[in-house]
Structure 1
Amino acid sequence: MNRFRNTYKLFRLAIVFTLLSSCAEDFTNRPPEDAISLDTYYSTNAQVESATNGMYSRTWFQFHNKFFFAVAEVGSGNMYSGSSDVSAMRNFSLNGSDPELNQGWRSLWANIAQANAIINFLADRVGPGVDDAVLQNTIGEAYFMRATAYFYLVRLWGPVPIIENNLDYVSRPAINTNRIEDVYTLIESDYNTAIEKLYEKVRTSNYANNGHVSKGSAKAMLAKVHLYQGEYAEARQLAEEVINSNEFKLLGGPQVPNKSFGDLFTYPNNNNEESIFALQWVTDGNYGSASNCNTQFGISTAALTTSNASYGGVFAPSQDVLDLYEDGDIRKHETIMFPGDSYPNMKVIVNGTTEQVGFTVPAADQIGGQGAGAAIKKYCQGIVNGNATGPVDNWAMMENNTYIMRYAELLLIHAEAVLAGGSSTSDAGALASFNAVRVRSNQPALASITFNDIFLERRRELCFEGDFWFDLGRIPRAQATAIIAAQNRGNMFLEEHFTPDESDFYLDYPDNDVAKNPLLLADPVPYEFN
């Protein structure tokens, strides 16, 4: 991914560096206009194309590093952790003083600030040699990123301030939140603008060309937004447009039979044909540019470690997901490492010193980490091993992408949109989409599907990818509460159950930001769109 290694020069005083510092910044902080040095730098197409590179990694780092998994996976009951910095959602004790909550919040606002700078200022600061199509595509990427950041904000916190230009709030940092429906209006508008401006693509085996988002990426994300609001006709139309475009394909499906589900999560397959939008991590020598999943997942004991770091296994599978998969489902082996499972191509360290390629997962009580009796395989590649894993930085972070959306999810969105809230469907199109995911996983096709079939298939397919918490948030509260209350949210040694209340489905605003902007706690107000 050399194109993502370019120096990110959008801001001399970029907000991305403030989000990586220890000082607390509120979400209205933004780079002042005179800190945007575009006039001389953005004089060629290549320079304009690189303007968004940092928005595929660094601006997302503190959201992704711990917060994303601590909320979306531990909170949903997919993951277990006993580590104090990431375990609060296990028993729903997360509050506004939590450092990781603050990091996730700041990271999303950093994305919005970066996007706003490009949307509002880039067109006036490019040279005459820049093609308009290149400029518009770059601005389209910024709209895409802003929509995606707001999509996370509204699902995590509910009402949040809508900020389309950070400079509008220089003299008034106290800002009301806006209604959830208004935030969704902005998200839909931004994705639609992205659809208008972004390039049309077809994902091929030339993976180096697939890193940036496309018109199809924006349509797929917008289909998901409509689905979350129960707007099934709109979700179905967009999903079918993406399916019919043939831009994306399933690895291990008929169009890419030489690959498999497991290949999705390895470095050599970054930006494969199934990737709709993925974070593009790079080992550029700076903390916060690469992914820590390989360390935070996997196995870390004195006898066996799957990471180059001196620690690991911060997150583990929950007891609830250990029996999630049916017999023969290939996703089981590629998602969770169970005792006795073999991984012949992963390089590990045994007994603290010896490197070897290939290992068998030890007994449940010897996996270590969180006492889960199993470990997370998805995104765990093993210690650095040439092109098999890609490079590693000084913090043992690596370059394998993190998916925000894959084509498999778009197919499941399509099936659910066709179902449209009904009790079941045998629609040929819905079944084709749903069964493509099932068959790729070595599971039998179904002749009729219900919402529960789709809901369960989403959990199996997207386990540890940060979606199940949001799926729980969009079903009736009583149903979601019952699902969570029934989960064993302890480890293999101690069964524990926790029942969320209504307030637990939205997070607290960070205390630091509430102190600076008490209006966060006031009733949300309508947003006046221009």
Structure 2
Amino acid sequence: MKFKKIYIVLFSIVFLGSCDLDPIPTSAIVVDNFFNNDDEILAGIINIYDGLQGSNPLEGDGGFNNPHLAIQVEYQMGEVLSDNARTKSGSPQGFDFETFTVLPQTAAVITYYRSMYNIIFRANLVLENLGNASESNVNRFEAEARFLRAYAYFNLVRFYGDVPLVDRILNTEEEEDRVIAFTRVNEDTIYNFIIDDLEFAVNGGLDNSSRSRASLAAVQTILAKVYLTLGQYGQAQGLLESVIASGDYSLEPNFFDVFYTEANNETIFSIGFDDTLVNDSQGFSAEFLDAVGRGTGSNYATAELVEALENNGGDRTQFTIREDPGNPGLFQTVKFLPIPDPNVGTFTVPSNPRIAGNDWIVTRYADVLLLHAEAILAGADQTTSSAALESFNAVRVRAGLDPQTVITRQLIMDERRVELAFENHRFLDLKRFGVAQEVLAAFSAANSHDFQAFELLLPIPGPEIAISQGVLTQNPGY
């Protein structure tokens, strides 16, 4: 399902999104006259998804004048900041991340932070107006809004560490609200808030009927990943087994179909895009190509990832990377590229590659199966659990690889790397497994970069610190 922009003055407001920092709607009358019934509240919920989708910038602005690209820039921190991806030749879209020279002024650092808080603002706006919802829909509306708010906070806390906790609409003309808006709180407090939102959503009456809106399985999967991040393996295992037992999801037999048959059986939660309007399309897949889009060649495979795919990718490799036709020896990602032609094994570029409708997959069933094996492993070095082997080997066998009889931590990391390459999991996986510093230091040394341990957290955006007038503080090292 694609969600069109909602052109209502109310929703044009950006919290923590511009230098004048005004969370007050441009028309108080619009606020007073909106959210009066279920239809208007639903429009507000769809607008949260719109914020997560981001706004594909218009031609000529390069994306730098758009503060809300949201997940469209996430690949820079999720993949290029790891040992998976690089730029073709110093592309401005990601070069700071490739070389571990990210600064508080780096464009993606700023727009991603602002985008997540914009999503949180939209969710809070809905949550504060649920008094006008019908009794039959109020719990579902609240569950959906709290799921999306929790997802935004989960992204923020993993990438930036301690962040401000905003659980209501703030008026920063009031000193107390201004302090709340810019005061960073401890990660533990943020995680408790996320868990509270997601636990409510688990019991909020959601089902598994949608792939592009909140579903029970989407909530359970994200909550399980939260628990895995915190080392609470039993809670994660139970949630993942609920997703598996639902019977609503399965691995696609053909890996290609995961990305080019949208809302397929494997997709649990995706962000929808449309290929007819530039404002509802995505431009990031064009950035993965050479000489098109906002950047050029900005998410190429590292030599290390190419080797991993050649050794362990199996049937996935041809639909994960291809050799750049114009730059032999360099490899592009083919996941999410526009207009595929599986019959001849090529991916042709449309006349305007920045108008692409490929949905972004946040999580899918293969992710669930590998997380399930990780939860059973529970931080140990290896396991022979039949349940873990069943989940782990289902992913391998789909790729045409031999099943394993023993699962190790390294095998799970290796399998997640090749199965989920370019899906923005790698950097966060390395952190969750506790090996990010070791892996990235070795990768950096081998490629003449200068990774340092403090770079496991992104810097707090410099413009936000300036706006806060000294209230918002910076992460160490930046």
1:183 pairs with 2:143: no
Aligned ranges 1:312-461 → 2 under 5 Å? 312-325=296-309, 326=311, 329-338=314-323, 362=325, 366-367=326-327, 373-382=330-339, 396-461=354-419
Secondary structure of 2:185's aligned partner: coil
> What is the SS of the residue equivalent to 1:405?
strand
For residue 97 of structure 1, report the CA deviation from its aligned partner: 1.4
The yes-or-no answer on 1:281 pairing with 2:273 is yes
**Counterpart in the other structure of 1:270:** 262
Cα separation, partners in 2 of 1:37 and 1:229, compared to 1, 3 Å = same
> Counterpart of 2:13?
15
Tell me which amino acid in the other structure corresponds to 1:84: P
Determine the C-alpha separation between the residues in 2 that align with 1:30 and 1:152: 25
1:282 Cα deviation after fit = 2.7
Q: Equivalent of 2:141, from 134, 138, 142? A: 138
Q: Is the 8 A contact 2:93 2:294 kept in 1?
A: no
> What is the CA RMSD across the aligned residues, in angstroms?
3.2
Whether the 8 Å CA contact 2:286–2:353 is kept in 1: the answer is no
**Deviation of the 1:465 alpha carbon:** 0.7
Q: Percent identity?
A: 25
Kept in 2, the 8 Å contact 1:292–1:396? The answer is: yes
- Change in Cα spacing, 1:418 to 1:504, as seen in structure 2 (3 Å) is same
Cα deviation for residue 18 of structure 1 reads 9.0
Q: State the number of aligned residues.
A: 452
Contact 2:389 2:406 in 1 (8 A): yes
Q: 1:392 to 1:151 in 2, by over 3 A?
A: farther
Quick check: 1:283–1:393 contact (8 Å CA) kept in 2? Answer: no
Partner SS, residue 455 of structure 1: helix
SS in 1 for 2:120: helix
Amino acid at match of 2:472: L
> Paired residue for 1:199?
206
Measure, in 2, the Cα distance between the counterparts of 1:30 and 1:278: 31
TM-score by length of 2: 0.85
Partner of 2:425: 467
Q: CA deviation at 1:85?
A: 4.1
Please give the per-residue CA displacement for 1:317-353, whole angstroms capped at 9, x wherever unaligned: 1222111122671111111003xxxxxxxxxxxxxxx
Shift of 1:56: 2.4
Q: CA deviation at 1:124?
A: 2.8
Which blocks of at least 5 consecutive residues in structure 2 are unaligned?
55-67
Q: Which residue of 2 aligns with 1:513?
A: 464
d(CA) in 1 for partners of 2:214, 2:442: 39
CA contact (8 A) 1:63 1:108 kept: no
**What is the Cα deviation at residue 39 of structure 1?**
4.4
Give the Cα–Cα distance (whole angstroms) in 2 for the partners of residues 163 and 431 of structure 1: 41
2:292 pairs with 1:293: no
Aligned to 1:343: none
Q: 1:217-266: per-residue Cα shift (whole Å, max 9, x none)?
A: 101110010001110011011111111111222111xxxxxxx1111112
Determine the C-alpha separation between the residues in 1 that align with 2:341 and 2:25: 37
Distance 1:322-1:446 versus aligned 2 partners, 3 A rule: same
Give the corresponding residue for 1:351.
Answer: none
Deviations 1:367-386 (A, max 9, x none): 38xxx61211111133899x
Deviation of the 1:501 alpha carbon? 1.8
> 1:144 touches 1:218 (CA, 8 Å); kept in 2?
yes
The 8 Å contact of residues 366 and 395 in structure 2, kept in 1 or not, is answered as: yes
Distance 1:328 1:384 in 2: 21
Q: Report the secondary structure of 1:337's partner residue.
A: strand
* Secondary structure, counterpart of 2:471 in structure 1: helix
CA contact under 8 A between 2:153 and 2:194: conserved in structure 1? yes
**Which secondary structure does the structure 2 equivalent of 1:197 belong to?**
coil
Q: 1:199 to 1:39 in 2, by over 3 A?
A: farther
Cα gap change, 1:331/1:133 in structure 2, threshold over 3 Å: closer, same or farther?
Answer: farther
Contact 2:16 2:114 in 1 (8 A): no
Q: Deviations over 1:457-478 (max 9, x none)?
A: 11111110111111122233xx
Give the 3-state SS of the residue equivalent to 1:367 in structure 2: coil
1:74 to 2:80 alignment: yes
One-letter identity of the residue aligned with 2:10 = R
2:47 alignment counterpart: 54
Q: 1:136, CA displacement in angstroms?
A: 2.5
3-state secondary structure, aligned to 1:148: helix
TM-score of the aligned structures, taking structure 1 as reference length: 0.77
Contact 2:459 2:474 in 1 (8 A): no
How much does 1:125 deviate? Answer: 3.6
Give 2:441's aligned residue. 485
For residues 383 and 38 of structure 1, what CA distance do their matches in structure 2 show?
A: 47
Corresponding residue of 2:63: none
Is the Cα–Cα contact under 8 Å of residues 25 and 106 in structure 1 kept in the other structure?
no
